[in-house]
Structure 1
């Protein structure tokens, strides 16, 4: 967990400070709230305007606990009216995921193709051989998407598009590639329309 303070000084300059960066051993609402409370106490922070946190229902309980605790100590600005600010990056991530639901199968095919190539040195070498045969000048690494980063699907797909001819050639010369992506009724290899 990372706890960051944003504040304005007496000269109206905006500041940002990392107050704490710690491992969370339990994700229960009470435990997380107690960790935040401990950090605020350690820094002797007695004025809080808002807390920005991911948009999950479990975090609503954390905020409720924090609001009660801060109200008891009279450290909330505006009576805690703006205490819970939902993380816009998390909201954006949820929007992107919802918007991509119709493209789930094509994205899965591309993700599995990249996983296949990256899963062993020999497969990666075979893929690099296909890159050379297709005379692709792009030298970027293929990346996989990350659940918590909304733009990582875009980065994965943008890279895969640059290697489209390579994946097409790999399908012809590597029978294991086709079998692996099609096993267990999998979605198969990426299609041209993907």
Structure 2
């Protein structure tokens, strides 16, 4: 059994940066099953993540059935997996002499690679993000933007604000903004109270 434990970050209503551990079992018959979502409140350290993993593995009685685990590259995950590996090794519960126990999350590695490439145009992306945020956070500004879209007879699509940690969301935001290439210069002429220069895309 392979356990996928890639962490998901979420800021709580109290402003706490919580980690959610979606524990997913991948069985040999290629069936994937979500076992549970575990809330891991701060502070985030290897010991805290390790304790959360151990607690649920023992509760479900599967600590001796794991052959591998995949997590993202956060340092606390490395520490937690190292502690988990030591614990399972002590009880001789690791398969294949633990050679394949810690599997890096491919999606996270891909995300890091793409973000490294996007860093070359970071100023452009930041400008686009701030411009989109400026427009969509005000009903008046959004109405003004929509009126220009109608005047230019463009498709009535919504602007997308990305989540900066997810490259595919950044791609969706940039693709959407490019469709409004002719709208932004006209919008910048009308929004004279803007606290920053709305970008010209093109």
Check conservation: 2:178, 2:201, Cα contact below 8 A.
Answer: no
Alpha-carbon separation, structure 1, partners of 2:26 and 2:191? 53
Alpha-carbon separation, structure 1, partners of 2:165 and 2:58? 30
The alignment partner of 2:40 has SS state of: coil
Alpha-carbon separation, structure 1, partners of 2:141 and 2:162? 20
Question: Which of 178, 189, 192 in structure 1 is aligned with 2:198?
Answer: 189
Check conservation: 1:143, 1:159, Cα contact below 8 A.
Answer: yes
Higher RCO (CA 8 Å, separation ≥ 6 residues): 1
Question: Which of 83, 101, 104 in structure 1 is aligned with 2:122?
Answer: 104
For residue 114 of structure 1, what is the aligned residue in structure 2?
A: 132
For residue 34 of structure 2, what is the aligned residue in structure 1?
A: 18
Matches within 5 A, 1:1-194: 1-8=21-28, 13-26=29-42, 27-45=44-62, 46-137=64-155, 139-177=156-194, 180-181=195-196, 188-193=197-202
Alpha-carbon separation, structure 2, partners of 1:102 and 1:47? 44
The alignment partner of 1:142 has SS state of: coil
How far apart are residue 192 of structure 1 and its match? 3.8
Over the aligned positions, Cα root-mean-square deviation in angstroms equals 1.4
Check conservation: 2:184, 2:200, Cα contact below 8 A.
Answer: no
Unaligned runs of 5+ in 1: 182-187
Per-residue CA shift, 1:11-37, capped at 9, x if unaligned?
xx2121111212111311111111111
More strand by share: 2
For residue 184 of structure 1, what is the aligned residue in structure 2?
A: none
Structure 2 length normalisation: TM-score? 0.84
Alpha-carbon separation, structure 1, partners of 2:165 and 2:159? 18
Q: When the two structures are aligned, how many residues end up with a matched partner?
A: 180
After the TM superposition, which segments of 4 or more aligned residues of structure 1 sit over 6 Å from their partners? none
